[in-house]
Amino acid sequence: MKFYTGFLLLVFTLANAEWIEPPLRSHKGYLVPVPDYTPLFPKDHGAHREYGLEWWYWVGHLETEKGDRKYGFQSTVFRLAGDPNESNSSESKSFGNRQLFLAHAALSDRSNQTYLHSERVLREGWQARASRDTLDLQVAGIEASMQEEGHGHQLITRYPGGGKLEIELTPLKPLVRFGERGLSRKGDGAASVSWYWSYTRLEARGTLDYKGEKQSVKGVAWMDHEISSSQLGEELEGWDWTCMQLNDGTEVKAYRLRKDDGSSDRWSAVYWIDQKGGVQQVYADQFSWEEEDDWTSSKTGLSYPTTVRITAKHPQYGKQSYRLRPCIENQEFYGNRSDNAYWEGACEVLDSENRIIGRAYLELAGYGGGLGARLN
């Protein structure tokens, strides 16, 4: 199965979407993603150092070959630039440049209802690097690299206590780039745009070394690569985001950009990806995100709406309803700052008749304080 580097799918928004012309640079001086950019792979799988914020994100559902144990995993690498006048140079000899990397690794053990997570924050150097030319990164315990001949990529994630997940990921569909003219909107600000590229269905196979036992695992994963310099409008408090992989071979991506008053920003969206990789979408006025149940952390005191129902009007098939139910209640990720805690976890997807129709990952960010000022 090829890595689909030769072509991709561009997602066009509805005709009534309002176009804005992004500035050349953000107010901090970083380059801003431009419209109509056609990514060149494998180069654009690599780092974009001229931009303020970038992340590589993997989540997925795995099971052992016998199917008797089930897991969810999250592996995320963030790159944050410092002074935009310095961030282009890789001062590899002194390891003194201002590129900052974060590695977030989490494992949800569904069989035992336990959640393991870790955060590392590193300056670029021996333990934190990302190539500009291809997917080749190593940040703390997370490594990702292209397979030979471009037939997918390898992901290695190490966990506290000596555990390790090592999987090969092969795209089953073309890469998708989201947004009108290749830009994903994150608020009304002209600079609040990103390049947002995803593999929505990856075959995953490999091994999980966990609690002293090495297990063969298989499953399905999702990968995002997002580049921005002003990720979230300042008027926004945070976001609720999900990727669903349904049993019929389709996927759904949905997100709600939350305003300070709790309402949804108009650029909130739902995307449907069909079996061949074709995409359709609607904005906030065509879907609802209802909170059905929440969970409160004993660690941070934060409450998260972890059971939700998303109801949306598909442009072709009409009303669609998806209920997300967590596989484990406690999937809260907290690192060095408790106010930056978020909930990110494996979920089941149910239809309007409460039948399981797929699996998902749900991310709930900004419940410890507004993220807008931090991501601009």
User: Who has greater pLDDT, 85 or 370?
Assistant: 85
Give me the residues paired with residue 345 across strands. Answer: 362
Predicted confidence at residue 91, as pLDDT, reads 47
Residue in the structure block whose two tokens are 């390898």: 154
Neighbouring C-beta atoms of residue 34, cutoff 10 Å: 14
Condensed to tens digits (0 to 9), the pLDDT of residues 20-54 reads: 789 999 988 999 999 999 999 999 999 999 999 99
Predicted confidence at residue 90, as pLDDT, reads 52
State which amino acid sits at residue 263: S
**Mean pLDDT of the region 136-163:** 94
148: exposed, middle or buried (Cβ count in 10 Å: 0-12, 13-18, 19+)? exposed
Assess if CATH 3.40.50.10490 describes domain 232-376: no
Q: Do domains 1-15+23-229 and 232-376 have the same CATH topology?
A: yes
User: Who has greater pLDDT, 360 or 232?
Assistant: 360
Predicted confidence at residue 186, as pLDDT, reads 87
Query: Has residue 354 got a pLDDT over 90?
Result: yes
Residue 92 structure tokens: 């590899």
Predicted confidence at residue 5, as pLDDT, reads 38
Closest CA to 251 of 263, 243, 259: 243
CATH architecture of 1-15+23-229: Beta Barrel (2.40)
Query: Has residue 223 got a pLDDT over 80?
Result: yes
Contact partners, residue 80, CB within 8 Å, separation at least 6 = 52, 53, 99, 100, 101, 102
Condensed to tens digits (0 to 9), the pLDDT of residues 106-117 reads: 999 999 999 999
State which amino acid sits at residue 77: V
Condensed to tens digits (0 to 9), the pLDDT of residues 245-258 reads: 999 999 999 999 99
Under the banding of pLDDT at 50, 70 and 90, the label for residue 183 is very high
Length of the chain: 376
Give the three-class secondary structure for 369.
coil
Predicted confidence at residue 17, as pLDDT, reads 54
**Mean pLDDT of the region 318-340:** 91
**Mean pLDDT of the region 88-104:** 66
Closest CA to 47 of 177, 152, 175, 139: 139
Mean per-residue pLDDT over the chain, rounded: 90
Query: Has residue 132 got a pLDDT over 50?
Result: yes
User: Who has greater pLDDT, 318 or 7?
Assistant: 318
Q: Percentage of the chain surpassing pLDDT 90?
A: 77
Give me the residues paired with residue 73 across strands. Answer: 60, 107
Is residue 166 within 8 A of residue 154, CB to CB? The reply is yes
Q: Give me the half-sphere count of Cα atoms (radius 13 Å) on the Cβ side of residue 232.
A: 23
Closest CA to 236 of 360, 101, 375, 65: 375
State the chain's maximal CA–CA distance in angstroms. 60
Query: Has residue 130 got a pLDDT over 80?
Result: yes
Predicted confidence at residue 338, as pLDDT, reads 66
Under the banding of pLDDT at 50, 70 and 90, the label for residue 8 is very low
User: Who has greater pLDDT, 320 or 5?
Assistant: 320
Predicted confidence at residue 151, as pLDDT, reads 81
What pTM was computed for the model?
Answer: 0.92
Closest CA to 224 of 243, 252, 250: 243
**Mean pLDDT of the region 225-235:** 84
Using the 8-state DSSP alphabet, how is residue 183 labeled?
Answer: B
Neighbouring C-beta atoms of residue 116, cutoff 10 Å: 16
SS3 for 33-90 is: CCCCCCCCCCHHHCCCCCCCEEEEEEEEEEEECCCCCEEEEEEEEEEECCCCCCCCCC
Domain layout of the chain by residue ranges: 1-15+23-229, 232-376
Condensed to tens digits (0 to 9), the pLDDT of residues 61-76 reads: 999 999 999 999 999 9
**Residue 63 to residue 260: CA distance in whole angstroms:** 39
**Residue 75 to residue 177: CA distance in whole angstroms:** 21
Predicted confidence at residue 15, as pLDDT, reads 38
Spacing of C-alpha 372 from chain mean position: 18
Query: Has residue 14 got a pLDDT over 50?
Result: no
- If you compute the radius of gyration of the chain from its CA atoms, what whole number of angstroms results? 19
**Mean pLDDT of the region 149-174:** 94
